[in-house]
Each structure stands twice: as structure tokens, then as C-alpha cells.
Structure 1
Amino acid sequence: MAHLLYRLGKFASRRRWWIVSAWLAILLAVGGSAAAFSGTLSNNFTIPGTESQRVLDELRDTMPEAIGGMGTIVFTAPDAAMTDEQQAAVEDALADLEQVEGVESVINPFDISRQLEEGQAGIDEGRAEIEQATTELEAGAVQAAAGQADLDAQRAEFEQSRDLLPPEQAGAIEAQLEEGQAQLDASLAEIEEGRGQLDEGLAEIDLAERTLEASAGIKFVSDDGSAAVASVQFDSQIDAVTPETREAVQVAADAAAEVGVEVNYSKEIVQDISEIFGIAEIVGLLVAVIVLIVMLGTLVAAGLPLLMAIVGVGVGVGVTFALTGVISMSSITPVLALMLGLAVGIDYSLFIVNRHRTQLLRGMDLQESIGRATGTAGNAVLFAGITVIIALAALAVPGLPFLTLLGMSAAGTVAVAVLVALTLTPALLGFMGRKVISRRRWAKAEAESDLNSSHEQLQLEADKLAASGRGWGGFATRKPILTLVAGVAALAVIALPALELRVGLPDGGSEPADSTAFQAYELAGEYFGEGTNGPLLVVANLPATDSDAELSELQLEVADRLAAVDNTAAAVPAGVSDDGRTGIFQVIPTEGPASESTEELVRELRDSAPVIESDTGVLISVTGQTAANIDVSEKLMEAMPLYLGIVVGLSLVLLLLVFRSILVPLIATAGFLLSLLASFGATVAIYQWGWFGDIFGVTNPGPILSFLPIILIGVLFGLAMDYQMFLVSGMREAWVHGGSAKSAVRVGFSHGARVVTAAAIIMVAVFAGFVFSHLTMVRPIGFGLAFGVLIDAFVVRMTLVPAAMYLLGKHAWWLPKWLDRILPDVDVEGAKLAQSVPATTTAASDDVDQVTVKG
């Protein structure tokens, strides 16, 4: 592979116009496709096979109107109850809002309040009428009883005198008595019928009162009249609502602000995920540029890795956006691709540029140096990129669709970054010529030449100093046992909070404190209960009923069962299908959507389903955004051990191939696990516990983003193996070329430390830029990756690994002979290239690959 890349580098340099033109054409084509075919990103995460997703799919057929996206608007009067003028302004604004294209319906809180009041008044009036009718009916019953007594007395008197009366007279009297009895029986029948009607009326009133009481469990206007919450239902799912519709909703509702009403919108209404790059990310890039300038000494050279990263990201993320028109993607998909594309794009190009600069300073011919840098450093870049790509592509293994798209998009962007580094970088190096090195550095090289000190001689002297214990490598290996104990102990302490890791998906409470989404979340919780921010949707399969009253009675019975479950604040029937066989209930938890009690409520509701079905014949299922988020989080945590096992196994196999050692892969993998756990711990401390919340903008600590752990595993694995490769391969090369095992650790470390330090700082800077992203969901990912790279590069790879390698000595490179024979030689550093391709230099070049910076 080194020979192939060597020829590719020279070809790209000679045919640089072709290469540049080809990449420009690709960039334009991808950009045009993204502009023409891109669709809408989503913040909804679903997993086929979960109960919440299955129920939602069924509702699409039975009650499609029930699955439209919902958002809330909170109206508040700052000082006291809303005035009539303010209330009228709010209602006018809601009436206008209902006419907005894309809005299915709007729940006017004052209408609901009036309906409840009118309903209660109607119930009271009806109950009073029934009481009056009952009184009259009972009076009639008393009269009928008295009439019956009189008639019975007359009949008894008639029977006593029947024999004394003429037959005609007796017949007439008997007919009169029978007619009287018939009239009395009719009156009694009317009384009984009236009683039945009154009982039915009373039952209807009781049913209406139960319904009213159940509905009263959800408030829309606060008790003091100073706040009201309106619900907006869209005609499509929330991720499909266009930015234009969201903006129109806000314009309509903002009209209420003209009379002094404060208007705040839930996250579902104001979220804007159309932009994935903000000010904070630019700051991160500026830090990367500063590091490049300091390291490379010239703006031209510093701009090259940055330009390569931009091209790679432009193509990789552009393809992702172009596919959003046909594939539903989460908003985090292009963001992760952007994040990784920038970081690895800069680093991979930097490794090749750094090798090229070193070779030029030795006097190597320009074309030869470009080819040699691509064949050596480029070979390492290719293998390092493959490890990252495999780790990201392995996100498809758990079988979660949105995670698969996430991994494939990021992996594709990294693949483009590798291709750009191996083709466009050498092409532009051909254009830059000697300008890739500053005049000051050239002058220094000439001064060294005038002093009869070749670069190789200076490097050999530096190697001797490194072997003697100079620099960080010497410090880390001077007392290796102490270094290992202290380092592992420190990382273990940082990792301790990971023991309390909880995962979930962000809600309005995760937004910045000054945002309208956070204010709406807080105000809704304050005035109407925390659970109103995350209602659950319970769907019921209802048996056939003979009447509407029987159906309503059944619904209320189920609602009572749901309300009796722990951690439930209210349960209200919210609708029924046209055929009466599917009912939906809104269940309000006692706490917010991200709380542990709400998670427990979802489980208890599902556990109670068999009992409810046995007692009522109604089968219930739980869905809704809150339940779906909980299902997604649980599935991701279930998939994490499998994915971690795959990544660790992959790590051992790859490192076994690269370093031809048993212990080095074990050390590298153990270091990766330490970095991972420390990153988990720090992320939990800040985003779940709220430590340093003011610094990182954590206003409402809560569960960690559910797919953050699995992303950290994949990304940190790939990046950790990058640094492991660039550092430890230098140690192996120094050992193979005859140095003692312990001195080889220090010498090899000194060769790669500078470029790895710069690369790690750049990567941390890029990731850290996302810590303050305008996309709240991205922030913990940016922090986790930045902290993980910082710990892995500087604590694990540059401190603990050298200490462990130094302590093991030659045993670190032990490999059974039988395994050595069957393992392929991947030659990551391209060491064989120097033996088969002579270099054209103006100085001795036999030791070119012995003293180059390992990158």
C-alpha cells in the first residue's frame, strides 16, 4: 500500500490541475444537489419494534388526527390576573393562529375554561331540576297511594253490599271501580316512568360530572388568572413542520404582546435545526488555525489543512444534506459528520504536510518528498482513517435506523477526508512548492548546513537527549509505576460519576435559560404542573358498546384506573375513533418528562395493562413523544454492551496487525476504556449533576443524551487508535532499528509527540467549539468528545502508554512465532518504501525514515 500511495502522491503533484479541477467539480455537484434535493431534519428519534412506535403506526390508520405534532404557547401577565383587554387580545391572536397554513387546530384556554364553567353550571341546574321533579313526582306518588287506599275502601264496601244491590246497579258500580283502578294504574305507571327518566337523567348528570371532574385534572388557565397555556396541533408530525409555519405561528401569537402579555413558545414551535454551524464552532476553528500557524510557521502552510478539512466536510456533509430529501434524518446526523470531518480533515492533512516539510528541510527533492510523505504518513493516515470509518460504520450493528444513518454519514465524511488528504493535499503541495516552509525556517536550515550539521545529525543528537530522559517522554517513564498508579487513579476518580449515568432525550428544560423554549417550559411547570411538559398518550382498544353512555362510562372507568397509577397527576379521555373501537387518553405525570418518576410511570402503565384488560376488556398501550424518548433511551442502552464488545474486539485485532504484539493492543484497549469512562464521568458531572453549569450553560441538569454514550464509544475508539498508531509506531520503528526497548519508547515518543500534540489540540478545539453550539443537543456531544480526546491524547497515549511500554521493555513486543508467521505485514509507517525507492536529496538520506516525525 505504501508504494501505491507513493505513486499516487507523485501523480497528484504532477497532475495537480486535474486533481484540483476534479475536486472542485465534485464540490460544486454535491453543493448543487444539496441545495436542490435537501429536505427537513428532525429531532424525533424512533426505533421500530418498540411499543410507542407500534402504537403510533396503528394510529395512523385508525385516528390520523391524533398523531399531528403538538406545540404549546404560554401567555402570562407579568403582575396580576389578565385584564379583559389582555384576554381578548390573546383570543384574537389564537383565532388568527388557527388560520395559519399547516395548523390543524388550536385549543383556546379561555374557551376550555368557559366550557368547564358552563358545564358545571349546566350540571348544577340539571341536578336542581331533577331534585324539583323528584319532589313533584314523590308528591304525585303520595296522592296516588291515597287514591289507591280510597279505591280499596270503596271496593271493600261494595263487596259487602253487592248481594243487596240489583244486578244492574252492582254492575255499574263495579265498572266505575274498574275505571278508577285503571286511571290509578296509569298514574302509577306514569310515576314509575318518571322515576326511570329521572334516574336516567341523574345517571347522565353523574356521568357528565365525572367527565367534568376528569377534564378538570388538566388546567389551561392558572388559578390566579395570570397565565394561560394554548395547545397548537399541526397537520403533520412535528419534524415535518416547515420553518415558515413555525414563523407564522409566532407572528400570529406575538400580537398579544402588544397589550402587555408575555408570550413564550415551547421547543417544538421555535426549534430551528436548519443551521448546523454557529459562532462557537467558528471560535473552535480559529483556535485550530492558531495552533497550525504556531506549528507550521506560515499562513500558507497553516491554511492548507484547514482548506482540506473544509473540502472534505463540504463533500461529506453536502451528500448527507442531499439525501435528507429522500431519507428522514435527525438533526444530529450532519452535525456529527461536520464535527468529525473538520477534526480528522485537519489532522490527516497536517500529518502529511508535516512529513513533507521535514523531508524538504533535509534537502529532498520536492516531487520526491510529496510522494514519500504520501507513501509514509499517508499510509498511516489511510489506516487510521479506516479504523475511524469501521468504528462509525459499526454503529449499524445494533440495528437502530437513525443510529445507522448517523454512523454512515459520519463514516462517509471521514472517508472523504482521507481521500482529500491523499489526493488534494499532495496536489496543493505541488502548487505551494517551497512556500510550505517559512523563510525563517529555511534560514535556520541553511545556518545549520553552514555549521556542517546535517538534519540527520541534529536528529540523532535529539534522539540521544530523548533516550536519556529529556522532555515529557522522559518524565512519564522516569518512574513508570508511579506514573501508572497516579494516572489510573486520577482517571478512576473522574470516572466515578459514570456510575450514576442516566440517559434520555432533551426537552425544553435543556434549552438556554434566556430562550423562549426554556421560559415556556418553566412557566408551564410552575403554573400547571411539571408533567404538563411531557404528557403521555395512552391508546385503548375498546370493545363494542350498545350506547354512547356505555362507551363514556367505559372510558371514564379506564381513566380512573390510569389515574390510580403512581406518579400520575391526571388522566383524561381525549377522544375516540368514529367506530368507537379506539380511544385515546392523556395522562399527565407528576414530574417532568426527563424525571425518573415519569420513566417509572411508563413502565407501571404498561405493567398494569393485563389487569385493566382483565377487569374492563380494554387493552391499553402507551405512546407519545415522552414514552417514545424513554423507549429509544432503553433500546440504546441495551445495544451499548454489544457495540462496546464489537469495538473492543476490533481494537485488539487491528492493533495486533499493526504492532505485531500481544501486550500493546491490550494496553491500548485498556487505555481507551479509561478514557471512555473518564469522559462519561465528566459528562455526567456537568450535564446530569450540574457541576460548573454556569460555565457550560447547563440551566436544568438532567439525563445524558441517550445516544451520546454509544457515539463516544465509536468516535473515541477511532481517534484513540489514531494517536496510538502515530506514537507507538515510532517506538516500534526505533526498536526495530536496533535501539533498546526502553530507549526506543522515549525516542519514538519524541518523534511523534509534537505533531500528535498539535493534532490533539486542534481536535479538542474543534470539538470544544460545539460545546456552546446553538443546538442544545450537540453540546454534551461536543464536550464528551473534546474531553475524551484531551484525556486520551495527553493522559493515556502520551503518559500512561509510554510508562507501561517502558515498564514492560522488550516484553511489550512479544508475539508467538506461529502467530507472527500467519499475520500479514500491513507496514503502516511505510518503512519498506525507503528500501525500495531511493530518495533524491542533497544530503544523506539513508536514515530518512528513521528520524522523521511519526505521523
Structure 2
Amino acid sequence: MAKLLYKLGFWAANHAKAVLFSAVALLLAVGVAVLVLWFDFDDDMSIPGTPAQKTIEMLEEEFPEVGKAGAQIQVVFKAPQGKTLLDPEVQGHIAQLAEKVQALDGVEAVYTPEMLQNYNADQTVAFAMAMYDVPSKEVTFDQIDELRDVLDITADEGIQTELYSSETELYPIEMHFTTEVMGVAVAFIILFFTFGSLILAGMPIVTAGIGLVVGLLGILLATNFTSVSFVCLSLAAMLGLAVGIDYALFIVSRFRQEYAKGYSIPQSIAIANGTAGTAVVFAGVTVIIALIGLSIPKIPFLSMMGYTAALTVLLAIFVAVIVVPAALYLLGHKITPPVDRKKTKAEKIADRVKFSGKLMQGWANALHKMPIVFALAGIILLSVITVPFFHMELGLPDDSFYEVGTDQRDSYDLLKEAYGEGYHASLVVVAEATDKDGEVLSKLEQLQADLSTMDNVAYITNVIPKESGEMAVITLNPTTGPNAEETIDLVHNIRNADYEGMKLNVTGTTAMNIDISEKLADALPVFAALIVGLAFIIFMVVFRSILVPLKAVLGFVLSLGATLGFVTWVIQDGHYYEVFGFATSSPVLNFLPILTVGILFGLAMDYEVFLVSRMREEYAHSGNARKAVLAGIRDSGGVVVAAGLIMIAVFTGFMMAPDPMTKVIGLALTFGVLFDAFIVRMMIVPSVMLLLGKAAWYMPKWLDKILPNIDIEGDSIMKELEKDNKKK
């Protein structure tokens, strides 16, 4: 691998203009394809095989008219202060609005509050229902905009008027780039202080941007052929940008080190590609494996999140080992920071490397003096932060997660105020006869009475029996919200209710989300065990050791536990959630833990590879375990710190985004990198290795012979260069 990438570095340098031209041409070609085909996101997060999904499929078969039913959009009204919706003047304005809505394109019928008699207790809140002639997914945003435009008829008269629908998407996907740009700007500043050059600071961002844009455009194209949710784009963007910048940083840093040794620009590029490039490929492939591993639980939307994010990471690898070397060659003499005229460029770079090394040397010396103190401090700190993880509850964000004042939140709160929290947790109970000739029609009245007396049932809203009598659909509202423990218990109690000759099934959005959360919670331990096992095997092959891989995976477990514990403490327990821009406390996003396992594993392995590979390289040459640890911190610690800060900057930008899902993913990855890069990799790992000494590198001879040898440090390249220099 090292020799191949070494040759690839030379090739990219020799064909620099063609490489960059091809990269830009590919970007433009994919961009044109997107403009022609456009994109179509699908935010369906159902999981085949769950009880709620099976019930939906049964309903579609037994009640085919349900799947063909037109979209229903609620127009919610709140009377002006001191008035009710029954006041003649208010009713007149609502009637005018209903007349306008009826005339809109696609509206089949409009039912006013007076027709539905759905006024709340003090008759200040109610809703009209606009019935469309197409199913929910076929209603266009143009039609929604037309509906929203006529709401001024009542809103201008002091009647609060909001739109709401639990099925129809009312708000188009908005792409906000302001916060993400801020994150990139911080990354640029970090790179500038790392390299001391504006050009070199900008280069990793530009090259990473090329790969990222191609990847995101590819994902947009894919939405035309398969089901891709918008959160896939957000995840792919934050991960692709972060690793793209980091991978370029690793190669540029190694290039500068080799250039400082006196190698020519093409030679330095090739050596950097063969050494740091090998580590980049290995680390990137590890991330990709972890992301593809998200398909293990067989959850479609989660699998797609893994595939799309893996695509941007794959492109980041290609850009790092092909486009970055080409860019380095074309920059030529401009790649060095401002120099003292009395010093050569190579000497100036060497001085900067030495300065960075001195800072890391100071940290290494501190660890060397008190390794057990630093190791225990890091382990205890992360263990304490992990504690809230053990009472973590999973759920899915709804409109209550948006900021107060947004349309989504206002309509949600208005209906909650009028009809209680349970309005948004509506459950669909399907009673089916279990006997061949059985029926439920004669038992329907008693069934309604039994359901009404169950704990946490507010009221039954609708009952639809099948004409043949062997099935009935009952809609009811709990007294608690969709993510409440009481609502979850109610779903299970209904499903477990024992009725002779009859089975009760529960579905609806709330039941679907409960099933998804439970399925994801069950899949988490299995997925985490597979990932940890994979990490151990990979690192045993790479580092030729038993204890180094064991230390790596235990460190990953610590950082993972602390990450999920911190997220639980903030999001679920409600500590300082406002500081991080969240509108309210809530259960933890149901797919966040399993997503964090996959992504954080990949990122943690990045830092482990770049830090410990330098230690192994030094140990192989000197045989001194302590000297190897200190050399690893001194030579690679600065790059790991810069890479960690860049990741944090990028993920913080996404944490500040308005979308609740994107925010919580950004929060988890920001603190995941903070814990892993700075506490685990820069504190616990070197401290433990200092305590272990030579034992850290122990490998049974029989196992060493079996395992393949991966030249991740590029020893084969450096030996050949040394031979060539001796011949000269």
C-alpha cells in the first residue's frame, strides 16, 4: 500500500494540472446532472417488521381506501382576546376563509369548526379541515403556499391562524449554511496557526470542498432513484467536510516534515503520500467500514445514512491522495510561510516544526512524570460523565422541538393548549378477529368501554368497523405526549390485552416511533460489540500488539459512554440545553446512539492511527518503549490536536443549525471528538502506554506470523530512499 501511494504521489505531481482539471470537470458534470434531474428527499423512517408497520400493511390490505385517502390539513384558529370562535363576527371571517380555501387547486372539501364541532372547552380554539384530492405525499409545496397565502383573511382580523398536519409535509427543506460557514472559518484559522500560511490554510478546505460537493451532489442525484432522507445530507456534509480537511492536514503536515529534511518538492509529496497517505487510506477505510456497518441492524433509513456518509468519506480519501498532492505541486514555492531572508524555506519550516514539537514535548514530559495521575484523572472524568447514559430514553423529535415563534412550534402548542398533550400522540387501534369465522362488531361497544377505562386514555375520537364485521379501527388520544413513558406503556398494554377471539394491534405515528426507538435500543449493544470487536482485530493487525488494540477499544468505549452520557444530561435531563441552542428538553434522538457508535469509532481510530503509528515507528527503530511514546506525542500530537479542533469547529457549526436532528447529531459529535481526541488519545492512551512500557508491544510469535503485515508507517519507502541516498 505504501509503495503504491508513493508512486501515486509522484504521478499526481507530474500530472497536477490534469488531476485538478478532472476534479473540477467531475464536479461540474454531477452539478449539471442534478440541475437536470433535481432531487426528491423522502423522510420515511419506518422499519419493516415492527408491529406498527405490520398493522399499517394490514390496514392497506383490508381497508384499501385508507391508503388512497386524500391529504387532510388542519387550519387551526384561536379567537382574539376576549372573544370566542362562536362570536358571529369571528365565524363570519372563518367562513370567508373556508370559501377561499375551497376554491384552491386540489382542495376537494373544507369542513369548518362549526361542522366538526371540535371547539375546546372555552370555545377559543378549534380547527377547520381542508381535504385534498391526492394523498399526503402528493400535495406540493406550491399548494401549501397557496393555502398559507389566504390565511391573512382571518389572521388580519386578530384570529391566530396556523397550519398543521401529522402526515403532510408543510415546510420545505431549508438549507442553512451560515453556521456551517462559521465552522469552516474557525477551521481556516486553526490551519493558519498550524501552517503559518494563508495559502496552505486554505488548500485543505478547498480540496475537501471539492470532494464534499461532488459527494453531496451525488446524494442529491440518488434521491431520484432510492429513498434518502434530508438528515442523510446533513450527516454526509458534516462528516465529509471534517474528515476531508483532516486528511489533507495529515498529508500536508508530513509533506512539510519531509521538505524540511531536504527532499525536493516532488519527493516530499511522494513520501507524504506513501506514509501519511497510507494512514489516511487505512483510517478512512475504517470509517467507511463503521458507516456501512450501520446497515447491520437492517433499518432502511439508518443504512442509507451510513451509505451516503461513507460516500463522502470515500471521496475525501481519493481527494487526499490524488488531488492534494497535485495541489501541493502546483503551489510550488508558495507552500511555505513567510521566511526570514537569512534562512532558507526549508529551515523556516523546520523551525515551525520544532516550535510545535516543543509544545508537544512539554506535554509529553508532563505525562512522563505522572502517567498514573493523568490516566486516572481521564478515566474518572469520563466515567463520571458517562453516568447519565444509564437512564437514557429514546424518542423522535416532533414539532415541539422547534424554537418558540416558529410556525411548526406555534401550531403544535395551539393544539396542545386546546386538546391536551395527547392530541399529538393519537393511537390507531385495529381490532381483528382471530377465529376463522369470528367477528368483532358485536364486541365493539364493550371494547370501547374497556379502552376508555385504561390508564392514560383521554378519549376515543373515531370508530370505523369493517362491513364484513371481522375488523374495526378505533382512534384514541392518550392523556400524555408521544414521547412520554405513560404513552409507551399504553401502547404495550393495548397490544397485550387479552380478548377471546380478538387481537388488538396499535399503529399510527406515535406507535411507529415507539417501535423504532425500541428496535434501535435492542440493536445498539449488538452493533457496538461488533464495532469494538472489529476495532480490536484491525489494530492488532496494524500495530502488531495485543495490549495496544485492547487499550484503543477500551478508550473508545470510554469516549462513547461519556458522549452519550453528556448528550443525555443536556438533552434529556435538561441541563443547560438553552446554551446549546435547543428549544426544550426531550428524549434522545432514537437513532443517535447507534449513529454515534459508528461515526465516533471511525474518528477515534483516525486519531489512534496517526498517534500510535508514530510511536510504533520509533519503537521499531529504537526498541525503547518510553522514547517511542514521547516521540509519538512530540511529532504527531500537534497534528492530532489541530485535527481534533477542526472537527470540533465543523461539528459545532452543524450544532448551531435550526433543524433539531442536525443539532443533536452536531452536539454528540462535537463532544465525542472533544472527549476522544483530547482526553482519551492525548491523555489516557500515552499515559497507559508509558505505564505498560515494552509490554504494550507484546505479540505472540505464532500470531505475528499469521497476521498480514500492513506497512502503515511507510518503512519500505524510507528504506529504499536510504539505500538510494547511500548509493549517491
Closer, same or farther in 2 for the Cα pair 1:345/1:600, shift >3 Å?
A: same
Q: Which residue of 2 aligns with 1:97?
A: 101
Contact 1:686 1:698 in 2 (8 A): no
Can you list the C-alpha shifts for 1:472-518, whole angstroms capped at 9, x where unaligned?
22223321111121111111111111111000111111111221211
Contact 2:269 2:328 in 1 (8 A): yes
Task: Specify the SS of the correspondent of 2:247.
Answer: helix
Task: Specify the SS of the correspondent of 2:585.
Answer: coil
1:110 is displaced (CA, Å) by 2.3
Give TM-score, length-normalised by structure 1: 0.80
| Residues 1:485 and 2:381 are matched in the alignment | no
In structure 1, what residue type is equivalent to 2:380? A
| Residues 1:631 and 2:515 are matched in the alignment | yes
1:565 is displaced (CA, Å) by 2.0
Q: How many residue pairs are counted as aligned between the two chains?
A: 722
Larger mean CA deviation between 261-270 and 737-746 belongs to 261-270
Q: Which residue of 2 aligns with 1:4?
A: 4
In structure 1, what residue type is equivalent to 2:482? P
Contact 2:257 2:350 in 1 (8 A): no
| Residues 1:769 and 2:653 are matched in the alignment | yes
Can you list the C-alpha shifts for 1:607-634, whole angstroms capped at 9, x where unaligned?
11x41xx1xx543311111111111111
Q: Which residue of 2 aligns with 1:377?
A: 276
| Residues 1:814 and 2:713 are matched in the alignment | no
In structure 2, what residue type is equivalent to 1:84? P
Q: Which residue of 2 aligns with 1:397?
A: 296
Mind listing any 5+ residue stretches in structure 1 that lack a counterpart?
Answer: 114-219, 847-855
CA distance in 2, matches of 1:307, 1:98: 52
Larger mean CA deviation between 739-748 and 819-828 belongs to 739-748
Task: Specify the SS of the correspondent of 1:46.
Answer: coil
Q: Which residue of 1 aligns with 2:13?
A: 13
| Residues 1:797 and 2:686 are matched in the alignment | no
Larger mean CA deviation between 305-314 and 667-676 belongs to 305-314
1:782 is displaced (CA, Å) by 0.6
2:532 pairs, out of 625, 648, 669, with 648
Q: Which residue of 1 aligns with 2:142?
A: 244
Task: Specify the SS of the correspondent of 1:696.
Answer: coil
Q: Which residue of 1 aligns with 2:431?
A: 540
| Residues 1:735 and 2:619 are matched in the alignment | yes
1:698 pairs, out of 562, 582, 606, with 582
Can you list the C-alpha shifts for 1:11-42, whole angstroms capped at 9, x where unaligned?
11111222122222221222223333344323
Task: Specify the SS of the correspondent of 1:245.
Answer: helix
Contact 1:37 1:324 in 2 (8 A): no
2:404 pairs, out of 500, 509, 513, with 513
Task: Specify the SS of the correspondent of 2:76.
Answer: strand
Closer, same or farther in 2 for the Cα pair 1:232/1:416, shift >3 Å?
A: farther
1:660 pairs, out of 544, 555, 559, with 544
Task: Specify the SS of the correspondent of 1:471.
Answer: helix
Can you list the C-alpha shifts for 1:180-206, whole angstroms capped at 9, x where unaligned?
xxxxxxxxxxxxxxxxxxxxxxxxxxx
Closer, same or farther in 2 for the Cα pair 1:363/1:325, shift >3 Å?
A: same
Task: Specify the SS of the correspondent of 1:265.
Answer: strand
Larger mean CA deviation between 71-80 and 677-686 belongs to 71-80
| Residues 1:503 and 2:394 are matched in the alignment | yes
Contact 1:42 1:328 in 2 (8 A): yes
1:830 pairs, out of 696, 707, 714, with 714
Q: Which residue of 2 aligns with 1:725?
A: 609
Contact 2:262 2:346 in 1 (8 A): no
CA distance in 2, matches of 1:757, 1:272: 40
Closer, same or farther in 2 for the Cα pair 1:79/1:744, shift >3 Å?
A: same
Contact 1:41 1:273 in 2 (8 A): no
Closer, same or farther in 2 for the Cα pair 1:444/1:564, shift >3 Å?
A: farther
| Residues 1:361 and 2:256 are matched in the alignment | no
CA distance in 2, matches of 1:845, 1:282: 51
1:594 is displaced (CA, Å) by 1.0
Matches within 5 A, 1:418-437: 418-437=317-336
1:79 pairs, out of 70, 78, 81, with 81
CA distance in 2, matches of 1:461, 1:516: 53
1:719 is displaced (CA, Å) by 0.3
CA distance in 2, matches of 1:839, 1:561: 87
Q: Which residue of 1 aligns with 2:162?
A: 264
Task: Specify the SS of the correspondent of 1:259.
Answer: coil
1:370 is displaced (CA, Å) by 1.3
CA distance in 1, matches of 2:628, 2:434: 78
| Residues 1:298 and 2:197 are matched in the alignment | yes
Larger mean CA deviation between 574-583 and 478-487 belongs to 574-583
Can you list the C-alpha shifts for 1:726-778, whole angstroms capped at 9, x where unaligned?
01111111222215211221121110111111111111111111112121111
Can you list the C-alpha shifts for 1:234-266, whole angstroms capped at 9, x where unaligned?
566655543223323322334320211112334
CA distance in 1, matches of 2:363, 2:134: 59
Contact 1:270 1:517 in 2 (8 A): no
1:541 is displaced (CA, Å) by 3.2
Contact 1:573 1:583 in 2 (8 A): no
Contact 2:548 2:697 in 1 (8 A): yes
Can you list the C-alpha shifts for 1:618-674, whole angstroms capped at 9, x where unaligned?
433111111111111111111111111110000001111111110011111111001
Matches within 5 A, 1:517-596: 517-541=408-432, 554-577=443-466, 582-596=471-485
Contact 2:422 2:478 in 1 (8 A): yes
| Residues 1:670 and 2:561 are matched in the alignment | no
Larger mean CA deviation between 355-364 and 662-671 belongs to 355-364
Can you list the C-alpha shifts for 1:347-385, whole angstroms capped at 9, x where unaligned?
001111121222223332111111111111111100000
Q: State which structure, 1 or 2, has the greater radius of gyration over its C-alpha atoms.
A: 1
Contact 1:40 1:239 in 2 (8 A): no
Q: Which residue of 2 aligns with 1:141?
A: none
In structure 2, what residue type is equivalent to 1:63? F
CA distance in 2, matches of 1:485, 1:787: 20
Larger mean CA deviation between 527-536 and 90-99 belongs to 90-99
In structure 1, what residue type is equivalent to 2:570? I
Can you list the C-alpha shifts for 1:672-697, whole angstroms capped at 9, x where unaligned?
00100100011011111111122123
Closer, same or farther in 2 for the Cα pair 1:781/1:460, shift >3 Å?
A: closer
CA distance in 1, matches of 2:569, 2:727: 52
Can you list the C-alpha shifts for 1:165-185, whole angstroms capped at 9, x where unaligned?
xxxxxxxxxxxxxxxxxxxxx
1:282 is displaced (CA, Å) by 1.8
Contact 2:141 2:172 in 1 (8 A): no
Larger mean CA deviation between 487-496 and 578-587 belongs to 578-587
- Quote the RMSD (CA, aligned, Å): 2.9
Matches within 5 A, 1:5-84: 5-67=5-67, 71-80=73-82, 81-82=84-85, 83-84=87-88
1:448 is displaced (CA, Å) by 8.6
Closer, same or farther in 2 for the Cα pair 1:448/1:576, shift >3 Å?
A: closer
Mind listing any 5+ residue stretches in structure 2 that lack a counterpart?
Answer: none
In structure 2, what residue type is equivalent to 1:571? I
Q: Which residue of 1 aligns with 2:123?
A: 225
CA distance in 2, matches of 1:595, 1:102: 37
Task: Specify the SS of the correspondent of 2:713.
Answer: coil
CA distance in 1, matches of 2:37, 2:19: 27
| Residues 1:289 and 2:211 are matched in the alignment | no
Contact 2:431 2:440 in 1 (8 A): no
In structure 2, what residue type is equivalent to 1:314? V
CA distance in 1, matches of 2:100, 2:444: 34
CA distance in 1, matches of 2:524, 2:684: 26
CA distance in 2, matches of 1:485, 1:410: 35
CA distance in 2, matches of 1:285, 1:642: 35
Can you list the C-alpha shifts for 1:389-429, whole angstroms capped at 9, x where unaligned?
00001111111111111111111111111011111111111
Contact 1:52 1:623 in 2 (8 A): yes
Contact 1:741 1:809 in 2 (8 A): yes
2:599 pairs, out of 703, 715, 726, with 715
Task: Specify the SS of the correspondent of 1:398.
Answer: coil
Contact 1:276 1:775 in 2 (8 A): no
Closer, same or farther in 2 for the Cα pair 1:577/1:754, shift >3 Å?
A: same
